[in-house]
Structure 1
Amino acid sequence: MERIQRLLSLERKMMRLRLLVIIFILTFLLNGCNKAEDNSYQLDYFEVIKVKVDNLHLDNSCKIFEEKRIDNGVSVFLYKDNENHQINGGISLKDKFYDLGEVSVDNTPDDLMGIEEVQVFGKKAVKIYGILGANYAQAFYLLVEENLEESILQESIIQIEGYTVEIDLDEDGKKEIVSTLGTIPETKIFTFKNGTIYGSDINKSIGAKSVLLQDNDKKLFQVYFESNKPEQYVYHEGSLLKK
């Protein structure tokens, strides 16, 4: 009987040892997984809604003060609406005019408002940008097709809130758009895939308090999950990777 008790005691000790080994292995694996998750964040994306433009009838109350002519009879312009004292954007296409709506407030400094030809998503585009208030910038992007028609025009314009920059984040030869809005920076990335433009709100995707494109050349994002604890990330294949 005593021998049987010793055997049972030994078996219980072996079972406890095996249990401890299993707990150790699971803890190691879970810590490894958490580490990987801490160093990489998959971003959530949403489809970007295109801007629907209205017909524009220019009259004496409207004064065009900046215009950029594009190929194939297309031009983009800024005009001042003296009735409501705001600066609107417009598009001229084959002798017809279309209104983008308000681009900037009156008396905006020249360096905060304008029209530029840029490259985004591997396509030729025109950027119309301005400010609507303190720390509140915006930009419209017109993707210029070779044969731009009225029906295509309605699917070729996007509006993005914030200060925008065109940058090739993943070094595939095609520039994405990065926008930043607010005194506590909220940053979004806009990409193009399978004929559709997608955006990602980085702050919401990864649960960060603040996100800012810190270095355009090195393509570094400065991320704050906690106050006074900045972390650096880079964009790669739809995710943010910790440096």
Structure 2
Amino acid sequence: MRINLLTVILTLTFLLNGCNSKNNECPLEFFQIGNEKVEILNPDDIKSVVKEKIIDKGVSAFIFIDRENNELKGSINLNGKYYYVGQVSMENTPEDLIGIEEVQVFGKKAVKIYGILGANYAQVYYWFFHKKPEESIIQINGNAIEIDLDDDGKNEIVSTLGTVSEARIYILKEGRVYASDINESIGAESVVLKDTDKKLLEVYFEPNKPEQYIYHKGSLIKK
């Protein structure tokens, strides 16, 4: 029986990429992520507050300049008790590159605290203020966008990081947050959320050959 060499090469390529060549489906591998450890913040460590978001009476999130090293750091205030979230941004970061927003993630209200730690290195914290402090913070490297990828009315998170874009999808499953490193899962060189309206992810398995995918039930489906 004569075997078509091109067919063999294409089949191997899809297998190496983690994709099903029959239906152009790329299953994603997910891993559970933990909550960030929060610590009590001594108010004396606060040199000045740069930005603050009031959530409710006695409840707020803020970005402050650390008195010791002038780094921009995040904190939450629960009825006069301050908790340190983590470093949000570098010293002297322009104000338009840091911020605090109230968003909807996984069908829940959350506060998004963001900044940059270097060139092409964004930093984001999500605070789910309805939870206990030690269970309420998740940290994400990269630019993070809240988007309803599967049209269920609840936003997932897509993050991208680096000049050659690496992307992750964050989902909620059985009350736990899981993430998938898309590049690693499917063997892609670059992945970026190209069109937020159409929810299209642009994937490069090789240079100059973009392919478009959508997310569906734990997989990427080729358009």
Q: Please, what TM-score do these two structures have when normalized by structure 1?
A: 0.82
Separation of aligned partners in 2, 1:34 and 1:211? 18
Identity score, percent: 58
Is 2:52 the counterpart of 1:67?
yes
2:63 to 67, 78, 94: 78
Is 2:182 the counterpart of 1:182?
no
Amino acid at match of 2:149: L
Is 2:175 the counterpart of 1:195?
yes
For the structure 1 residues 131 and 34, does the alpha-carbon distance in structure 2 shift closer, same or farther, using more than 3 Å as the test? closer
Separation of aligned partners in 2, 1:60 and 1:122? 35
Amino acid at match of 1:127: K
Separation of aligned partners in 1, 2:124 and 2:20? 38
Is 2:112 the counterpart of 1:127?
yes
Alpha-carbon offset, residue 61 of structure 1: 5.2
1:123 and 1:144 in contact (8 A); partners too = no
Q: C-alpha root-mean-square deviation of aligned residues, in Å?
A: 2.2
Q: Which region of structure 1 is more displaced relative to structure 2, 125-134 or 86-95?
A: 86-95
1:242 corresponds to? 222
Q: Please, what TM-score do these two structures have when normalized by structure 2?
A: 0.89
1:52 to 34, 37, 42: 37
Separation of aligned partners in 1, 2:107 and 2:145? 15
Separation of aligned partners in 2, 1:166 and 1:121? 9
Separation of aligned partners in 2, 1:109 and 1:210? 28
Alpha-carbon offset, residue 80 of structure 1: 0.4
Amino acid at match of 2:48: K
Instruction: Give structure 1 regions of 4+ aligned residues with deviation exceeding 2 angstroms.
Output: none
2:141 corresponds to? 161
2:115 and 2:122 in contact (8 A); partners too = yes
1:35 to 8, 14, 21: 21
Correspondences of 1:207-218 after superposition (within 5 Å): 207-218=187-198
Highest Rg: 1 or 2? 1
Unmatched tracts of structure 1, length 5 or more: 1-19
Separation of aligned partners in 1, 2:64 and 2:212? 41
2:94 corresponds to? 109
Amino acid at match of 1:35: S
Unmatched tracts of structure 2, length 5 or more: 12-18
1:229 to 205, 209, 212: 209
Alpha-carbon offset, residue 73 of structure 1: 2.8
Separation of aligned partners in 2, 1:62 and 1:91? 16
Separation of aligned partners in 2, 1:71 and 1:104? 25
Separation of aligned partners in 2, 1:34 and 1:206? 10
1:104-137 superposed Cα distances (whole Å, 9 cap, x missing partner): 0122122211100000000000000000000000
For the structure 1 residues 47 and 72, does the alpha-carbon distance in structure 2 shift closer, same or farther, using more than 3 Å as the test? farther
Alpha-carbon offset, residue 71 of structure 1: 2.5
2:45 and 2:66 in contact (8 A); partners too = no
Alpha-carbon offset, residue 72 of structure 1: 5.5
1:97 corresponds to? 82
Amino acid at match of 1:44: E
Separation of aligned partners in 2, 1:81 and 1:73? 22
